[in-house]
């Protein structure tokens, strides 16, 4: 009887944790939550040279890594390419190239070499959500993680990015970053 009570209690607690994470946590956000505010159209906001600064938190909530990055995005109608070049505090570098497309309803599809399958998302109002599965490099363990990215456009043009990484439904990491237009690169391109 004690073991059965334990199992019932564990099941109830697991159900409550699942309910809270789906209704009151990061994953509970919907694009409609951000229908107001500045209009975040990735074809215009994520266009040209961008600078990014961020922190990655590990599973314990402590800072695991810091990074800076330079992005270059270009669009041809509803299809775009965003090239990312990351510099981590460990001295390592990472390059990624996203192939993005947006349809008339704001639905986004995203592909990159380290994605497993195709990412999907939605832009609505001042928010953009992307969900995808990523395969970490072998140096990072080679794990496949489910990622949910939320980007929020601020009135001054800065983008706040928060991402959570999950394995088997458990959060194993989080990223917080800012992205903003690279005014220095834009001025250099105009002068050329």
The secondary structure of 31-74, three-state, reads HHHHCCCCCCCHHHHCCEEEEEEEEEECCCCCEEEEEEEEEEEE
- The domain defined by 31-191 carries CATH number 3.40.30.10: no
The predicted model scores a pTM of: 0.81
- What pLDDT does residue 21 have? 55
The domains of the chain are located at 31-191
Q: Tell me the pairing of strands 159-167 and 127-135.
A: unpaired
- In terms of Cα–Cα distance, which of 53, 122, 116, 47 is closest to 83? 47
Distance between CA 106 and CA 126 in Å, rounded? 12
Mean pLDDT by 10 residues, the chain (192 residues): 76 66 70 86 95 96 96 97 96 95 96 96 94 87 92 94 93 96 68 50
The angle at the Cα of 44, spanning 32 to 164, to the nearest 5 degrees, equals 50
* Pair of tokens at residue 125: 């109002």
- What pLDDT does residue 140 have? 73
Distances (CA, A) of 145 to 94, 106, 142, 174: 17, 25, 9, 11
- What pLDDT does residue 19 have? 59
Distance between CA 155 and CA 39 in Å, rounded? 9
**3 state DSSP class of 16:** helix
Chain-centre distance for alpha carbon 49: 18
């Amino acid at each position: 009887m004690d073991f059965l009570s334990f199992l019932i209690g564990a099941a109830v607690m697991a159900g409550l944790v699942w309910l809270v994470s789906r209704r009151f946590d990061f994953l509970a956000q919907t694009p409609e939550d951000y229908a107001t505010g500045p209009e975040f159209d990735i074809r215009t906001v994520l266009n040209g040279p961008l600078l990014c600064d961020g922190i990655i938190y590990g599973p314990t909530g402590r800072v695991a890594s810091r990074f800076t990055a330079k992005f270059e995005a270009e669009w041809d109608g509803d299809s775009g390419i965003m090239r990312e070049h990351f510099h981590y505090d460990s001295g390592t570098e990472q390059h990624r190239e996203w192939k993005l497309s947006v349809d008339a309803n704001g639905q986004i599809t995203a592909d990159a070499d380290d994605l497993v399958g195709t990412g999907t998302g939605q832009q609505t109002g001042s928010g953009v959500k992307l969900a995808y599965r990523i395969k970490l490099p072998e140096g990072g363990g080679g794990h496949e993680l489910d990622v949910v990215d939320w980007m929020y456009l601020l009135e001054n043009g800065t983008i706040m990015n928060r991402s959570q990484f999950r394995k088997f439904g458990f959060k194993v990491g989080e990223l917080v970053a800012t992205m903003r237009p690279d005014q220095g690169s834009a001025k250099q391109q105009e002068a050329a």
